[in-house]
Amino acid sequence: MNSLTIESAAELGVYLNSLAIRPLFRGQTNHYGSAAFPLATTSFTRQGCTPPEMFKWWNYTSDILSAFIGKSGQSFPFVEALLQHYGWRSFYLDASTDAGIAAWFASHKFSEKIALELSEDCFERGVMLRKRYASYDFDPGLGHVYVLDHDIVEARVGAIDLEAISLEGYRPRFAAQKAVIVGPLQNKVLPRECYHAHLTVDRAILQQYAQENGFFNQADLFPGRDEDPILSALLDLPWTEIDATKNSLNSLKFFRRAVEFPEYSNSWEKILSEKVALFHGTSIEELAASPAGTPENTISMRVPTSTMLGHTVMADKAFPEIEKLLSVHNCVIFEIDDLIQHAPHQGRFLYSKGLSVAKKADGLIEIGALLVEHQGLELLRAGLNVGWYYRPAATGGWTHVRHPEECPCGNADVHGRHLVTLRMIDSWLADPNSVPLP
């Protein structure tokens, strides 16, 4: 690895233009490790993993990404890599194909602060919102640009070119940053042979070089929600009440985003839109009317949120505990203490809050979604959405059966997710310690 000190923007440009490799660039305000071997670690390595938050990020956002980029949005490594640009921890390192972008990050220091904002829900009831505001600001000193050999990186640890994802008419953050994600590293450092050069440069020179290449301010690399549909979808996710603040200030409620992430532009609104849901534990049992479509002899049960957010191996499609309940009741509604928004419902204040399992004619069983309408602080109404039909076998397995009244979406991933949720609920019914609480 070459270690060079660069004295001017012109010298930096001459050096970068002389590279005979296919380069990737990474910019940092500080150098870690030894002079001979930089130490670059992932956010998971530095900060650890919090499984409940990880499951929330995955479930809330993989559906959003699928709506924009297709099946690859359901790939866990791909989602992990892409969402790193929005604040999720991962086993990947950020890099760019553009040296100007690396120069900008090497000359601007990251900072973050927690803000509490007083707003009103759409019914003009006061609420406090906790947000993470972040910024990159120029800071004098020395910056560091690392030149990586793209071919060696791909061969040794892997690289995902996010710049190749095209969202016509939009400029999402990963495109603005011409991002390539390096890894996964799985708690390891980037191998030494991936580094081609380490450039130490005065940050004023780096800022000049970044500006000469079109990167002047934060908005050039962090587009707002009007340009970035993924950011917009994240900002529209429901809010959840902060447990530690309950009953702390008369009747004023405090909320945080369902998945918290750094925000790079002010998002305060005096009166929030009707599509902003501020969930504080309201159950369908508190509604004046039963969910629309509820048959006679129905019971509802509260189940852990993790049954809808977690993952499990589907060794078979047998649900013995569910069948026991259906031997007594025509329908069972399983409700979580949360709201989950899916991409088709964005902007419609419609959320998933559980599952329903109902007996049908000819010995069939329908698995559908419990959907609710929620505006501001108010849970307005609920209904049972049509689902797919299954026939229990004598051996215990449930087989999907085409039915003229089934959900017409044709999305096997969505209904497969219902089966996974039902598997976790069945396990929880058999042993409440088998499914971890979120």
Instruction: Give the C-alpha separation, 191 to 205, whole Å.
Output: 28
Mean pLDDT of 359-381: 97
Place of tokens 């959907």: 371
- Rounded to the nearest 5 degrees, what angle is found at the Cα of 91, between the Cα atoms of 67 and 94? 75
Residues 228 and 296 in one domain: no
At residue 271 the predicted structure's pLDDT band, cuts being 50, 70 and 90, is very high
- 423 lies in the same domain as 338: yes
DSSP classification of residue 12: H
Q: Kindly state whether residues 198 and 287 are assigned to the same domain.
A: no
**104 and 176 share a domain?**
yes
Verify that 228 and 292 share a domain, yes or no: no
Q: Is residue 377 part of a domain?
A: yes
Q: How far from the centroid of its chain's Cα atoms is residue 125's Cα?
A: 29
Residues 177-202 pLDDT 10s:
999 999 988 778 899 999 999 999 99
56-65 in b/e form (b: 16+ CB < 10 A) is bbbbbbbbbb
Q: How many CB atoms neighbour CB 411 within 10 A? A: 13
Indicate the residue type of 177: Q
Q: Please report whether residue 39 resides in a domain.
A: yes
In a domain, 241, yes or no: no
pLDDT at 316 over 80: no
Average model confidence (pLDDT) for the chain? Answer: 90
Regarding whether 297 and 166 lie in a shared domain, the answer is: no
Does the bond joining 184 to the residue before it have cis omega, within 30 degrees of 0? Answer: yes
Residues in CB range of 211: below 8 A, 6 or more apart: none
Domain range holding 398? 281-430
Q: Is residue 239 part of a domain?
A: no
- The residue whose two tokens read 């305000």 is 29
| Alpha-helical runs (H) found in 39-113 | 43-47, 51-69, 76-83, 99-107
What local confidence, expressed as pLDDT, does residue 385 receive?
Answer: 95
User: Is residue 182 classed as helix, strand or coil in its secondary structure?
Assistant: strand
**CB neighbourhood size of 15 (10 A):** 17
Report pLDDT digits (tens) over 208-260: 999 999 999 999 999 999 999 888 888 888 999 998 888 777 789 999 998 88
Q: Mean pLDDT, to the nearest integer, of 391-403?
A: 91
Both 202 and 302 in one domain: the answer is no
6-45 tens-digit pLDDT: 999 999 999 999 999 999 999 999 999 998 899 887 765 5
Q: Indicate whether 153 belongs to any domain.
A: yes
* Total of domains in the chain: 2
Does residue 435 belong to any structural domain of this protein? no
Q: Is residue 200 part of a domain?
A: yes
pTM assigned to the model: 0.89
